[in-house]
Amino acid sequence: MARRKGQPLDGWLILDKPLGQTSTAMVGRARWLLDARKCGHAGTLDPLATGVLPLAFGEATKTLPFLVDRDKEYRFTIAFGAETDSGDAEGRVIHTSEVRPGVEAVEGVLPQFRGSILQRPPIFSALKVGGQRAYDLARAGEEVELAPRPVVIHALAVETADADSVSLRVVCSKGTYVRSLARDIAAALGSCGHVSQLRRTRVGPFHESAAISLDTVSEIGDGPVREQGRPVPALLDRILPLATALDDIPAVAVAGEAAQRLRSGQAVRHPSPGGSPGLFGVDGTVSASLWLVVTAEDRPVALAEHRGELLVPVRVFNLAS
């Protein structure tokens, strides 16, 4: 029997991922509860991490590349005294140290980790080496060498500390590994360490204050009013508009005929070519040309590049009625 296609649903659900669950499992569960045709997430969280996991449904999945490239915020705890091969509490201990740095010492080394830095990713990562995932090679016992990569640390500060650990808050660019940051901070202090707790508190515009737990989603979605496999209104009410992920991209309204042409992949004249520039290009890099095109009713039509006097569609949204 053919699989049901699910219901048309376009928008965002911000999950608070629990400890021990994979991001892929969260997608599958939410998709089933909402009976959605299409769902994806904006950035994997390891099973040992908790926090903000934005889920995109339907046409919102077309905005995932933009959200994945946005800055992220984490709270994490470094446990001093043991470095592991994975950089977290699940890994094998490879170095130990008796050094337990105090708060003043920790704060003293943090400036060297702020701004643009080079960071060596952990060997237990999804990066590819010779066509194979680094974590597959590491698990097979092979030696893995990963080159340092540029990342940006916008903010880094101590929140709490005790005799054996320190908890910090970091705001960072795409590609930053918190496990590597913890390893390197500990090394700079003449000790060693690993991440014992990790929570993502923000992805782009999505903050943990807007996140809903999987238990709450399940309680609503599995309630007695769910019938014939369709999601209940209370769960649908949690869905945020598609454009929520594009809050830093300026919007411009077009008339009905121009909207239809854009949906068909055709360029149209920009209604106000002297307007404010966009912030992100198609690949998430800084651009002076990207616009969110909407109808007079503020309904998203497309993401379009401003070329001369034209708006050229690069992502077209076919929203359900």
Range of weakest confidence among 42-56, 217-231, 276-290: 276-290
Per the prediction, the chain carries an average pLDDT of: 86
- Rounded mean pLDDT, 1-11: 67
Matching fold, domains 11-69+206-242 and 72-200: yes
**Residue-level pLDDT at 3:** 46
For residues 276 and 46, which has the higher predicted lDDT (pLDDT)? Answer: 46
Q: Give the pLDDT band of residue 173 (cuts 50, 70, 90).
A: very high
**Domain range 11-69+206-242, its CATH number among 1.20.120.1200, 3.30.2350.10, 3.20.20.70, 1.10.10.10:** 3.30.2350.10
Contact 284, 303 (CB under 8 A): no
- Per-residue pLDDT tens digits for 82-109: 999 889 998 999 999 999 999 999 999 9
- Alpha carbons 21 and 11: distance in angstroms, whole number: 23
- Alpha carbons 22 and 20: distance in angstroms, whole number: 7
| Domain locations in the chain as residue ranges | 11-69+206-242, 72-200, 248-316
- Per-residue pLDDT tens digits for 267-312: 998 887 554 444 344 444 434 478 999 998 999 999 999 888 889 9
Active site residue 247: no
Q: What percent of the chain has pLDDT over 70?
A: 83
**Quick one: which of 208, 156, 217, 196 has its CA closest to 51?**
208
Contact 108, 163 (CB under 8 A): no
- Cβ atoms within 10 Å, residue 96: 10
Q: Which CATH homologous superfamily contains domain 72-200?
A: Pseudouridine synthase (3.30.2350.10)
Strands 49-57 and 39-41: antiparallel
H-only helix segments in the chain: 23-34, 64-68, 103-109, 134-139, 178-188, 214-221, 233-236, 256-263
Can you give the pTM of this predicted structure? 0.86
Q: Give the pLDDT band of residue 149 (cuts 50, 70, 90).
A: very high
We find that the CATH architecture of domain 248-316 is Roll (2.30)
**Residue-level pLDDT at 277:** 46
Catalytically annotated residue among 10, 16, 35, 46: 46
